[in-house]
Amino acid sequence: MFKSDKIEICEATTSDAERLRALAVKCKIDAWSVSDYAEEISRPDSIVVKALSEDRLVGFAVSRSVPGQAGGFEVDLYNIAVENEFRRKGTGSLILDGVVAAALKKGASDIWLEVRESNSAAISFYKRHGFIAEATRTNFYSNPRENAVIMRLTINAQRDISGAETLLDSRIEEE
Catalytic residue, from 18, 114, 117, 134: name it.
114
Catalytic-residue membership of 126: yes
Residue 52: closest CA among 25, 100, 13, 26: 13
Catalytic residue, from 37, 78, 126, 165: name it.
126
**Distance set, CA 129 to CA 14, 43, 160 (Å):** 29, 27, 11
Report d(CA 140, CA 144) in Å as an integer.
10
Report d(CA 175, CA 158) in Å as an integer.
25
Catalytic-residue membership of 37: no
Task: Catalogue the active-site residues.
Answer: 114, 126
